[in-house]
Amino acid sequence: MEGFESLHSILKGIEVRKERKESKGELTFKSLDLRNITKRFPGVLANDNISLNFKAGEIHALLGENGAGKTTLMNILYGIYHPDSGEIYINDQKVDIRSPRDAIAYGIGMVHQHFMLVQTHTVGENIALGFKDSPFVMPTREISKKIGDFCDTFGLKVDPNAKIWQLSAGEQQRAEIIKALLRGAKVLILDEPTSVLTPQEAEELFQIFKRMAESGNCIIFITHKLEEVFKISDRVTVLRQGKVIATTETGKTDKATLARMMVGRDISFEVQKKDIPVGEKLLEVNNLFVRGDMGNTVVKNISFSIHRNEIFGIAGVSGNGQRELVEAITGLRKVEKGTVKILDKETQNKNPRDIGELGVSHIPEERLRFGIVPNLPVYENVILRDYYRPPFSGFLTLNINYIKEYSKEVVERFSVMTPSVETTVKLLSGGNIQRLIIGREILSRPDVIIAAHPTYGLDIAATDFVKKLLLQKREEGSAILLVSEDLEEILQLSDTVGVMFMGEFTGIVKPRETSMEDMGLMMAGSKKWA
């Protein structure tokens, strides 16, 4: 540590500026090569002999399904993981990246999907953290000035004195980008950068990408959205099951080809939705107010109703009150003011079991926390909802045999891939856990289904399965509340869409009569419909 040196200079009242060693990142960056990278996690071959090339001035998309190994590969490049074998070359010189510190020194920066920011600190403090060019005493004052300069160069606007938790996801992302650029990043890796943005914010981000690429940087962005690949990238690499399937220039390929490479088979983007008239009103929410974890009101005066044979979608960037709204309806969170009526009974502030017994199913947002008990076997998770009543239990005991038979039926009908019903649930993949939860929740023919982010993190096949199932339930007469960040999914499935921003509906619209642009504006809170 530079302790004595620093204390000495405090006494003198001088800021220490450590002699700036000539960092390797200041050389002109030309190319970056990954050669034969292999990385194994217990039970998974995450990266299988991957070779890839990135060039200065290009925007390179890394496309693949969840679990294809994209993030692992980039974490290796950024020094967070160490590859089991393989080499990294910068400008055809072999480099040894053992930690993020090394990566930063070589001019590599990364913006993770879940931002690596200290929520309670300011933007300035986050940027000063571990930053060799910031002064020892009062580091944030100096940093604020530098941030100002940067804002002008790349059009990145962010207030250095704002606390991270007060910022929107888009602003936090900009803070992350500035953090990387200030450290001299020539190669910027972004992991699913648009997943938290409104369409307009994503557009702004793409403009920033372009400006950065024009000034000779290399942008690598991880995505599973084909649209983005075509909108912005120069080249695209498809990964599947840890292997590189192909790298091509984006202009020379098309959506269907990439999709086939990504999934390994042909897939249809069509979802068949029948036109059917809606039935009677099953769920009605009136002037609902709900408080968030911090005690502030995060659901403000929300009203809507859902009928039989109707899917009501709630769109919006996450964190705008969707979670609290769902929790209030399902009885997990206290309602401050207003009413929730299910089948004409007022259910606000009833407990979740009472609400469930009225015929409400809940496919929860955080499935590992609220959907299952990870350490229990499949058959016990299948009856989590109804274990206390016949036919699953008698007066005192569980009917284990019946439960196992029933579980086998659920597993079969919903194609849950599990060695047996006695397998511990946490050993299943995310998609199979979701199939299990959905199976449990809708096999009992519920009148109302509350589905929060039902396809989040699922691969294409599982997503397809979930979408079809929701549509099938709609035809069978359920009223479905669908909350999702995936705008396309919302527009595809819903009969009516409510757009939430800062706890309020900025619009309730019909998907067919609304453009993506209008949706985006409503998600950003700038347009109001009655």
Partner 1 sequence: MNFVSYITSILERALVAGTPLLLATVGEILTERSGIMNLGLEGLMAIGAVTSLGVILGTENLFLGVLTAIAVGGLMSTIHAFISINLRGRQILSGLAISMLGLGLSGLLGRRYVGIPLPVYFEPIKIPYLSRIPILGEAVFTQNAFFYISVALTIIIWYILFRTKWGITIRSVGENPLAADALGVNVTKVRYICTIIGGCLAGLAGAQLSLGYIHLWIEGMVGGRGWIAIALTIFSTWNPLRAFLGSYLFGGVYALQFQLQGIGISPNILLMLPYISTLVALLVTSGATSRKRIGAPSSLGEPFIKGEK
Q: Which residues bind partner 1 (CB under 8 A)?
A: 41, 78, 80-82, 99-102, 104, 110, 112, 116-121, 125-126, 128-131, 134-140, 165, 179, 294-295
Nearest CB to partner 1, comparing residues 34 and 108: 108
The count of other CB atoms within 10 Å of the CB of residue 92 is: 9
CB closer to partner 1 out of 2 and 280: 2
Please enumerate in sequence order all residues whose Cβ is within 8 A of that of 45, keeping only pairs 6 or more positions apart, or say none: 38, 39, 241, 242
385, amino acid identity: R
Residues with Cβ within 8 Å of 310's Cβ and at least 6 positions away in sequence, in order, are: 278, 474, 479, 480, 495, 496
- Find the shortest distance in angstroms from Cβ 164 to partner 1: 10
Least distance between partner 1 and beta carbon 100 (Å): 5
Pairing outcome for strands 85-90 and 31-41 = antiparallel
The rounded distance, in Å, linking the Cα atoms of 519 and 512 is 12
Q: Which is nearer to partner 1, 115 or 505 (CB)?
A: 115
CB of 1 to partner 1, least distance (A): 8
CB of 129 to partner 1, least distance (A): 5
Give CA–CA dist 88/95, Å, rounded: 6
Residue 250 parent element (H or E): none
- Specify the residue, 103 or 213, whose C-beta has the smaller distance to partner 1: 103
CB of 85 to partner 1, least distance (A): 16
Task: Please give the full DSSP string across 395-420, using - where no structure is assigned.
Answer: SSSB-HHHHHHHHHHHHHHTT---S-
Q: How far is the CB of 187 from partner 1 (least distance, A)?
A: 15
Closest CA to 187 of 51, 98, 96, 89: 89
How close are the terminal C-alpha atoms of the chain, in Å? 61
- Beta carbon nearer to partner 1, 7 or 373: 7
How many residues does this entry show for the chain?
A: 530
Q: How far is the CB of 112 from partner 1 (least distance, A)?
A: 7
State which residue, 69 or 356, has the beta carbon closest to partner 1: 69
Cis peptide upstream of residue 391 (ω within 30 degrees of 0): yes
Query: Minimum distance between the CB of residue 139 and partner 1, rounded to whole angstroms?
Result: 5
Nearer to partner 1, 82 or 345 (CB): 82
Tokens matching residue 90: 């910068």
CB of 118 to partner 1, least distance (A): 4
The DSSP H or E segment spanning 329 is helix 322-329
When the beta carbons of 298 and 378 are compared against partner 1, the nearer one is 298
Q: DSSP readout, 71-132?
A: HHHHHHHTTSS--SEEEEEETTEEE---SHHHHHHTTEEEE-SS----TTSBHHHHHHTT-T
Compare residues 71 and 330 and give the one whose CB is closer to partner 1: 71
| Phi, psi (rounded to 5 degrees) for 192 | 45, 60
Q: Cβ closer to partner 1: 136 or 392?
A: 136
From the CB of 165, what's the least distance to partner 1, in Å?
A: 8
Q: How far is CA 317 from the centre of its chain?
A: 10
